[in-house]
Chain A
Amino acid sequence: MQGMTNNAYDPIAAWQKMIQDWEGEINAWSGKLTQSEQFSAVLGQATKMIVVAQKTMSEQLEGLLQSLNLPSKTQVEAMTDRLDAIEDSIAQLRIALEKLANEETPSPTKTEPRRTRVPAGKTKTRKA
């Protein structure tokens, strides 16, 4: 009876196997396809077309947004860059201030762990 139970049709397992097989086949097929020179040629051409189309589109959109008195992608990106730069400066200031404060009055609560650990079963071989 046990043997019968093990051999019973399991639709979930069959479904999982089907997904795995399908994934393997598609990936293998893609692997072969991407190795061909024709594929590289088509991809290279497609990349060029996408870049040119994106550039043309963004230039046109930029003009449209400007005429509608709305912020364009370039302006939003410029603002993001400035915010990132400010965030960067604040982080650098904070690090410098913390370092300075720590040098002047080392925090009594913040203790560094001892750097003397050796692997279990090994003798200590601290570098001279």
Chain B
Amino acid sequence: MNENEDIARRVELEIDRALKRNIKGLDFLIADREPVGTMPKSVIHRDGTAVLYRFEPVLDEIYRVPLVIVSPPSNRGYIFDLAPGQSFVEFMLNHGYDVYNLDWNPPRRDEAELGLCDYVDRFLPDSLAAVADVTGEEDVSLAGYCMGGTLATIHAALHPAPIRNLITLATPVDFNYMTLFQSWADKRYFDVELLVNNLGIIPADVMLGAFDLSRPANRTAGRMTLWNNMWNDDFVKSYRMFDRWAAETLPLPGTYFRELITRLMWDNALVNDTLDIADRHVDLSQITCPILNIVAQHDHIVSHEATRPLMEMTGATDRQEIVSKGGHVSLVAGPAAVRRLWPHIDDWLGVRST
């Protein structure tokens, strides 16, 4: 093929893409929300903001120990089941796990007083009891993403007995290294009491604002990249699902938000060993079960350093860490996780789930 022919083909391809962009661009503007969370599931426990789902097992023979994934209270749990082929839940079901997800509904106004204690000492143990009822198994593998991982870690420190394995995905423990949030909620200038006392429930916009601050160009650059790839159905579908998830950030109960800022962020109470929940001391060294700590190399929200205490302060002797390429969300969704990360999780968890 000579150079002129090559250029002609390239021009033809770009014209074709430009036409498709225009047509699909119109579709994009008028399209309904992209469906997410497609694996069949049922609610097995519900208590206000807390909803526990059981995903229907797909194999006749599954591992003995069930897997419970804890969502971060500020985000919808369908990120674990974004779409067929990009779903952590689907992957784990296909590899023989009995998968549950402790997810959160937007809190009602009468739930503004829910605090850390309610999450780690009520919703989590009640959910694990519901899982035990269904499975007849006393122990469980607990996984948590972002703040869901922090809640799972605090729970595991308070109630170590039934936790067979702990998997933490982008889980902050040392909040001194949550630099973005430290400057956003700077103790000298951030009036958390004013916010909580006036709002009761902290709107999602407050959290979204903090995320946008960390990467102000992402939204615009994302739109530009979308336009560029508008001809590509898979890209557009994927973009719309992530966009929907990011936009559906959940509001938070005021008391939980206050404790998150004052106890975890300002006092760094988990690392400084000063966190008490319902008059019981949260001691990370009480966690002796195997731990798989997974961090994203380019995570601008939860840095590697913020997760280090899981490898250094816990009492476990069986600890493994995986640093995966990509950003914060790439651990729990996206084609790269399917190929690279999740098979490692299966390898690690399978031998510990019998």
B110: nearest chain-A partner, CB-CB: A81
Q: How far is the CA of A45 from the CA of B189 in the complex (A)?
A: 7
A95 touches B217 (CB 8 A): no
B189: nearest chain-A partner, CB-CB: A44
Which one of A4, A44, A95 lies within 8 Å of B186 (CB-CB)? A44
Q: Using a Cβ cutoff of 8 Å, how many contacts connect chains A and B?
A: 148
Which one of A34, A47, A80 lies within 8 Å of B191 (CB-CB)? A47
Residues of B within 8 A of A35 (CB): 179, 183
Question: B39: CB under 8 A from chain A?
Answer: no
A126 → B minimal CB distance (Å): 6
Question: B221: CB under 8 A from chain A?
Answer: yes
Q: Classify the secondary structure of A's interface with B.
A: helix
The digit string for B85-128, where 1 denotes a CB below 8 A from any CB of A, is 00000000000101000000100111000000000000000000
Q: Classify the secondary structure of B's interface with A.
A: mixed
Question: B32: CB under 8 A from chain A?
Answer: no
A14 → B minimal CB distance (Å): 12
Q: How far is the CA of A24 from the CA of B1 in the complex (A)?
A: 38
Question: B218: CB under 8 A from chain A?
Answer: yes
Residues 174-213 of B contacting A (Cβ, < 8 Å): 179-180, 183-184, 186, 188-191, 194-195, 198-199, 213
Which one of A5, A30, A113, A119 lies within 8 Å of B216 (CB-CB)? A30
B351 touches A119 (CB 8 A): yes
A39 touches B183 (CB 8 A): yes
A27 touches B3 (CB 8 A): no
B62 touches A51 (CB 8 A): no
B199: nearest chain-A partner, CB-CB: A51
A16 touches B191 (CB 8 A): no
Question: A97: CB under 8 A from chain B?
Answer: no
B113 → A minimal CB distance (Å): 14
Which of B42-50, B140-148, B237-245, B262-270 is found at the contact surface with chain A? B42-50
Beyond A22-B221, A30-B217, 4 additional contacts (C-beta under 8 Å) are A16-B225, A20-B221, A26-B216, A92-B47
B residues with a Cβ closer than 8 A to A are 1-3, 6-7, 10, 14, 43-48, 51, 57, 59-64, 96, 98, 105, 108-110, 133, 135, 137, 139, 179-180, 183-184, 186, 188-191, 194-195, 198-199, 213-218, 221, 224-225, 228, 300, 347, 350-351, 353-354
